[in-house]
Amino acid sequence: MLDERDGDQAAELLGVLVLVDPASDSGGGVFVRWYASSSLSKSAANDSLGDGTNSPSFRNFGFVVDGMHETLIAILKSAGFNAVGAEDDMSPYLICINSRLR
């Protein structure tokens, strides 16, 4: 979902984003990813510069993002979709929806 703000503020990705790649090869398909708020992301990034990955905000960010990834997969499966982690090194929390389960 896009957060539409007044003209001079950039739009921000928040929540679930659904991507459709119409390619007929193995790279195509339907993909889902959840985006954390920029305030959570920025806080984690800034704190990690000083305290590294041991900073409380960095650990919290990891917990939230990991949790949402697993929760989205569970929700999609409960709705009858064959959803799995996409195993994409460039986007580690990307979810691939392979098909609808019968």
* Cβ-contact 61, 43 below 8 angstroms: yes
Q: State the pLDDT at residue 48.
A: 86
Q: Where are the domains of the chain?
A: 2-100
> What's the pLDDT tens digit per position in 29-76?
899 998 888 888 888 989 888 888 888 999 999 999 999 999 999 999
Q: Give the tokens for residue 74.
A: 């569970």
Q: State the pLDDT at residue 39.
A: 87
CA gap 97, 56 in Å, rounded: 33
Residue 9 has pLDDT above 60, yes or no: no
pTM for the model? 0.75
Owner of token pair 């001079």: 8
Q: State the pLDDT at residue 77.
A: 94
Higher pLDDT: 3 or 49? It is 49
Q: State the pLDDT at residue 24.
A: 66
